[in-house]
Structure formats: C-alpha cells, structure tokens
C-alpha cells in the first residue's frame, strides 16, 4: 500500500476514526443529527456504513431497479421536459402550449381549474370565483378540441392532473382525439386518477372513497384493453409533501396507495401483468437534496419488493417504478422571489440525480400567481441547461456508491417499509384513510415544520434570515375571471342549443343506471355521453345522483406547534399576552378559519387553526368548499372576534369581495383577515373592502398572532 508521510491509508483512517470518537465523547462536536423523518444523519460516512446493505451491487434496468428503470438511463435518452400549465380559456392555454413546445418542451402537462376538478360546469353558482383561475376551464369536448388545436395527439405525450372529474375529462380527451383523426390506441400520456391522495391531502374529490375506487378500476380496465400506450394512473406523493409530509411519509403512503390500486384492480378480475406495467408515479422534490435523490432510489426498490411479495407478477415491467417529478411549490417564497430560481435548480438536479423519467420545474413567481411566459421560460430553460450543458446525462446513476447516498437510501427503505407494513396491517390505504391515521401524521409533520421555521431553527433565505430590504416587485399574470366565465357560459349555451338533446339525455341515463346497478364500464359510457356533447358537469352529476358528493370535516391538531417550537421564551410571551386578554375579557380570543370556493388546499388553514389553538385562541375551522353566504352563516353561529380566510387558488378577489359585501348587512361585529397566496397588488384592494390584515406566504405565526391579538383589542372591526 502507498505510504503518506510514513503511514499507510489504513493507518490514517484508523487515526481519523479515533479523532472523531474523541470529539464525540468530549462533546466538542455534534457529529450526528436526526432528520424530520426520524433518520439519524452522521457528519461522516465510510465504507463501513455500506456493510450488509440489501440494495447494493444492483445494475440499472434490472430488479430491484434502485439505479434506474432503464439500463442506459439518460445516456440513451434524457428525461422528458414537461411544464404543468393551464390558465383561463382553452384558446389561451393552447397558444401557451404551442409556444412552449417550440421552446424545447417535450410533453404537455395540463392544469385544470378547480371548477373542472370538482365536476362543476362554469355556469354553476358554487364556482363563481374559481373559473379559469388556477388552471384551464374545460366544460366539454369542444373546449378540449380547442385546447389541443394544431397539436398532433398521436405524437404528443399528454399528462392530465385530474382525479375528481376523471371520467368526463378522460372521455372528452378521447373524443377530441377521435375528431382530430387519432385513434385512442395511439394516444400516449398519463391521467393522474389517484383519488386516495385526494382524500389524504388535496381534497379535489367528488364522490366517496368506495365509489371513487370503482371509477379507478374501470379506467384501468378500459385503458389496459384499448389504450396500450397510455398510463392509466399516476400514483402521487407530490401533494403529500406539499401538504407537509416528510419524505418517509411521502414515500410510504405513495407506495401504499399504489399497492391499494393494484389490489382493487386484481379483485375486480384484472390480471396484474395486464395493467401494472402502465402504472406510473409522481413525487415532489424539495430542498433536502440528498434525501430527495435517495428517496427516488428507495422508491424503486420498495415498489419492486412489495409487488413481488404481495402479487408475484411474471412480467418484470410490473415491478418497475417509473416516475414523473415536480420541484416543490411549498419551498417557493413570496419574499425575495428570485431566490426561487436557485431553489428550483437545486431541486431539479436532485430529481435528475435520483433518476426521474420526466420533470416539471416550477416558475419563480408561483408563490404569488400563475407563471408568466417569461418565468415559465426560465423554468423550462433550467432543464434545458441541465440536459445540454452539464454532461449529467452521460453517466447512469452518478451518485451510486456514495457512502452517504447509499446509506441514506437504505435508511429510507427501512423507515418507509415499516410505515407501509403498518398501513397494510390496517387493511390497506383506504382503511387507513378512513380511520385518519396517515392524515394525522401528515398534519403533525406540517405543524412541526412551521414551528421550526418560525423559531428560526430552520432557515429560509430571504424569509426568516438574510432579508432583502430593497425588494422590487415584478410582473405577474392576471386572469379576468369574470370575462373567462362569460366566455365559458356562452360556449356551454351554444353546445346545448346545437346537440341532440334526446340522445344526450339517454347517454346520461345509461351512465346513471350503470352506476346504480354496478355493471358496465363507466369510462366507456362516459365516452358515449361526451360524443353526444354532454358537459363535464352533466356527466359528473349523472354519477353524483347515485354516489353522492363527499364532504370531509377538517380537524384541529393540538399540542404539536407549541411542543415543536424551540424558543420557549417567545412561546411563553405570546401565551402570557393571550392569558392577559382572557382575564380582562373573561373569555379567550375567538377565531374562525375558513376556505372559500373549490380550493381544497387546506395545509395553511389547518396549520393556522392548530397553532393558534396551541397558543391560547378559541379556534374553529369550517368545512371546505364554502360559498360566501355559507361562511356568513358559520360566523353567525360562532360569533368570533376574527374570521380568517385562507386563499391558495387566486379566487380571493371575487369571493372575499362577495363576503365583505354580505358582511355590510350582518349584525355581528368581527375582524376579517386573509392569508395565503395573495399578490401584493391585491392587498390594498382587499383592505379597501374592509379586510384588516393580509398575511402572505412565509408569515411567522408568532408575529401574526401578536398582530391579530392587537387588532382584536385595539383595531377597528369590520362591521362596514
């Protein structure tokens, strides 16, 4: 062995190990820490950490696929560049897509508005503020034809993020392709179709779990027989991490969801190898770089292992986890927003190093509004630069063999498998969601993370440290919701005036009958209805007559925020202020936290309600999907000091305006505050309506609590 200054490499390693052990025993250096996933992370890893690891010495393209689903990975073909986009009308979205495709994008990822997600047509009174806001409004086949105008669907991979109204959207896409001259067997892409995740975090469901699982099974059956190039489901962990799940939870619950779908399809008579090769996955990629790389490697191992153990497929492709990834939305900050370009780049590199098959990179302005053409170009070019300027694509699994990455991959496998097995012991993911177990874990994780940020235990540059005092505003995309809705209603009226009404009614009746009698394939019957120009809302309602519309009540998680906040002095100080108020007034300060419209993103509302409750407020949280009129009724029942409206999907100007106008005639005297994704330009508009305070993304909850307490004590209440 080569000697260095009269010592061999082994001698130096032995000395280094002794030195590290001495530092630990003397307390000079904290050489390990526990991640939020409960994994012990060391400051130094050596070859000893790789001893006995089950997943080592595997090759890409072969089970258990830790190093990638294909042998050549990006050296054969780079990952597919996608941009998740959709806004306003089908016509405007189509123009945006065509420009993006010319700019280097390789596949389409369609974002639908919340009215569409929830199975309502644009003329429905419950969606006045949601039409065309957080995605494109689609009411019929005619809208879908415009959406894909001059985009050859036989050549284009199309990903559609749709779960609630999955039947009418899938049917309209198939019929639009037919009328473009493209047979359904030629269509390629993915429909998300992952309803369990909706009940767990995102809440854009329509029907109860059991009925929803039937829909999924029918889609898997139909596509496996008639659409061999199309992925029938994209099993999504993305929204779990966005809702606060740590990486072990995201990994475990996503794999458990996938196993549940396979079980459901198999129980309905399908053979695993007939559909499992077309299943795909979707993960979030956050800022914990090495954890995210290792998560994707661990996911492939766990899917192959669990599929083999439980279902024993004979086709190797049934064991292969293929995934799309998207950089994190929750890591984006409103403050000092240009920092988000760097964050997205780091996250994109983690996705690539982990071996994703396709990738969406978020635009830097998405913490404030829908992306502009300029910000989308920067996000898309981030991927183009990684593909063309870095040589990353030339080596398969370049971090393989890293002591840290391999050890972390193993830790994620061990921790996630333990959680998967707990879910399986409960009877699978549907049963687990029904008893609230995974929901509770995610909510606790989200609150813990918020407490760490608020106490500056976790640093967010530009938000709680290294603040930019000279921040300048930038242009954002604005959608005229009123005009979009007028256009959509006009289109719906035109369709209904020109269709064969009798044939349309017969098709919808057949769909309702099939749902009631539990026979026939619901996607096949939805396609028939779409051909007769039944709208998205009509097809959805034909099933709602039988299945009903699901409504979940939100819960407050107590004790987690206070316990997770590391600065006890700050906690005790705010609690003392609230206690003083309670003594003076003879009651606790009262706050009602609410969501308006069809926005089901409830992380912010839950975190606020739970943390304020911990700090001493008497807090209640409403059910989701309220109209302004319904919120007035809820406020009248509780008689709060403060009504806090959480907004995530750009409908605040319409819905809060309506609520404030109704409040003028309301005898109760309460303060109104707003929080969430609200552009700076809208803050003064809201305050002019009578809103007392607006809290944007990155708000410190302790500071917000002081402000709200002072508003209650000294501020003018909004009895306008």
Question: Could you confirm whether 84 is annotated as catalytic?
Answer: yes
Contact criterion met (CB below 8 Å) for 565 and 451: yes
CA–chain centroid gap for 556, Å, is 21
Contacts 24+ apart (CB under 8 A), 657-665: 657/689, 658/128, 658/129, 658/628, 659/596, 659/628, 659/631, 659/632, 660/689, 660/690, 660/691, 660/718, 660/720, 662/628, 662/629, 662/632, 663/632, 663/690, 663/718, 663/719, 663/720, 664/720
How many residues are present in the chain? 720
Tokens of 50: 């790789």
Residue whose pair of structure tokens reads 């440290």 in the numeric block:
465
Residue whose pair of structure tokens reads 């050890």 in the numeric block:
407
In which region does residue 401 sit, left (phi positive, over 0), alpha (psi from -120 to 50) or beta (all else)? left
DSSP track, 153-174: TTT-EEEE--STTHHHHHHHHH
- Phi and psi torsions of 496, nearest 5°: -65, -30
Beta bridge partners of 360: 82, 326
Q: 99: how many CB neighbours lie within 10 A of its CB?
A: 13
Contact criterion met (CB below 8 Å) for 606 and 443: yes
Question: Could you confirm whether 716 is annotated as catalytic?
Answer: no
Q: Which of 211-225 are b and which e, b meaning 16 or more Cβ less than 10 Å from the residue's Cβ?
A: bbbbbbbbbbbbbbe
Question: Could you confirm whether 338 is annotated as catalytic?
Answer: no
Candidate list 130, 454, 599, 658, residue with the active-site label:
599
Q: In whole angstroms, what is the distance from residue 325 CA to residue 327 CA?
A: 7
Question: Could you confirm whether 143 is annotated as catalytic?
Answer: no
Candidate list 120, 173, 207, 238, residue with the active-site label:
238
Question: Could you confirm whether 599 is annotated as catalytic?
Answer: yes
Question: Could you confirm whether 185 is annotated as catalytic?
Answer: no
Candidate list 145, 197, 562, 595, residue with the active-site label:
595
Candidate list 117, 601, 648, 652, residue with the active-site label:
601
Q: In whole angstroms, what is the distance from residue 184 CA to residue 122 CA?
A: 27
Candidate list 84, 205, 207, 550, residue with the active-site label:
84
In 3-state terms, what secondary structure has residue 673?
A: strand
Residue whose pair of structure tokens reads 């077309």 in the numeric block:
278
Contact criterion met (CB below 8 Å) for 569 and 605: no
Candidate list 70, 133, 239, 305, residue with the active-site label:
239
Q: In whole angstroms, what is the distance from residue 442 CA to residue 651 CA?
A: 26
Active site residues: 84, 238-239, 595, 599, 601
């Amino acid at each position: 062995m080569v000697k260095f200054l009269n010592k061999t490499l082994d001698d130096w390693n032995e000395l280094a190990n002794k030195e590290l052990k001495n530092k630990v025993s003397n307390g000079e250096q904290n050489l390990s820490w526990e991640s939020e996933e409960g994994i012990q992370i060391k400051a130094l890893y050596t070859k000893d950490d790789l001893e006995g690891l089950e997943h080592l010495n595997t090759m890409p393209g072969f089970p258990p696929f830790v190093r990638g689903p294909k042998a050549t990975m990006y050296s054969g073909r780079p990952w597919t560049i996608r941009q998740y986009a959709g806004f306003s009308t089908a016509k405007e979205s189509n123009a945006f897509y065509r420009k993006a495709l010319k700019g280097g994008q390789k596949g389409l990822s369609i974002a639908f508005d919340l009215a569409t997600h929830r199975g309502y047509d644009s003329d429905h009174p419950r969606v006045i503020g949601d039409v065309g806001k957080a995605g494109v409004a689609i009411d019929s086949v005619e809208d879908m034809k415009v959406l894909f105008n001059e985009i050859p669907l036989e050549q284009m991979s199309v990903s559609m993020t749709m779960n609630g109204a999955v039947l009418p959207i899938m049917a309209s896409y198939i019929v639009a392709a037919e009328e473009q001259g493209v047979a359904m067997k030629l269509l390629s892409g993915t429909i998300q179709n992952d309803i369990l995740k909706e009940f767990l975090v995102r809440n854009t469901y329509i029907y109860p779990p059991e009925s929803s699982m039937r829909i999924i099974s029918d889609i898997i059956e139909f596509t496996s027989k008639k659409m061999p190039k199309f992925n029938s489901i994209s099993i999504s962990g993305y929204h779990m991490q966005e809702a606060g799940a740590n990486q072990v939870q995201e990994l475990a619950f996503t794999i458990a969801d996938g196993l549940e779908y396979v079980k459901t399809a198999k129980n309905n008579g399908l053979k695993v190898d007939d559909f499992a090769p077309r299943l795909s996955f979707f993960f979030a990629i956050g800022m914990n770089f090495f954890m995210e790389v290792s998560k994707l490697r661990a996911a492939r191992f766990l899917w192959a292992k669990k599929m083999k153990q439980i279902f024993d497929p004979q086709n190797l492709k049934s064991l292969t986890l293929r995934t799309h990834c998207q950089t994190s939305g929750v890591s984006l900050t409103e403050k000092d927003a240009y920092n988000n370009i760097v964050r997205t780049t780091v996250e994109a590199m983690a996705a690539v190093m982990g071996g994703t098959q396709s990738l969406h990179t978020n635009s830097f302005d998405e913490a404030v509004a829908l992306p502009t053409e300029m910000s989308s170009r920067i996000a898309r070019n981030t991927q183009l630069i990684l593909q063309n300027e870095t040589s990353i694509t030339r080596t398969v699994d370049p971090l393989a063999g890293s002591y840290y990455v391999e050890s972390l991959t193993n830790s994620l496998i061990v921790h996630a498998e333990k959680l998967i097995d707990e879910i399986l012991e409960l009877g699978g993911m549907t049963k687990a969601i029904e008893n609230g177990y995974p929901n509770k874990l995610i909510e606790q994780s989200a609150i813990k993370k918020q407490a760490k940020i608020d106490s500056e235990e976790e640093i967010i540059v530009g938000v709680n440290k290294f603040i930019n005092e000279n921040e300048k505003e930038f242009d954002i995309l604005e959608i005229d919701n009123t005009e979009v809705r007028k256009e959509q209603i006009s289109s719906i009226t035109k369709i209904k005036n020109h269709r064969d009404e009798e044939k349309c009614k017969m098709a919808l009746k057949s769909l309702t009958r099939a749902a009631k009698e539990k026979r026939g394939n619901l996607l096949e019957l939805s396609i028939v209805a779409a051909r007769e120009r039944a709208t998205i809302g009509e097809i959805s309602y034909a099933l709602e007559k039988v299945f009903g519309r699901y409504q979940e009540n939100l819960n407050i998680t107590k004790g987690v925020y206070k316990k997770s906040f590391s600065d006890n002095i700050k906690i005790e100080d705010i609690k003392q202020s609230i206690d003083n108020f309670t003594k003076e007034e003879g009651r606790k300060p009262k706050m009602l936290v609410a969501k308006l419209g069809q926005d089901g993103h409830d992380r912010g509302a839950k975190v606020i309600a739970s943390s304020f409750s911990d700090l001493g407020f008497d807090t209640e949280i409403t059910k989701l999907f309220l109209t302004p009129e319904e919120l007035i009724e809820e406020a009248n029942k509780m008689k709060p000091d403060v009504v806090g409206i959480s907004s995530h999907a750009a409908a605040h100007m319409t819905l809060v305006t309506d609520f404030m106008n109704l409040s003028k005639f309301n005898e109760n005297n309460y303060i109104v505050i707003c929080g969430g994704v609200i552009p700076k330009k809208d803050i003064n508009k809201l305050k002019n309506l009578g809103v007392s305070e607006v809290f944007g993304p990155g708000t410190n909850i302790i500071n917000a609590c002081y402000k709200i307490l002072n508003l209650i004590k000294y501020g003018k209440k909004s009895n306008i």
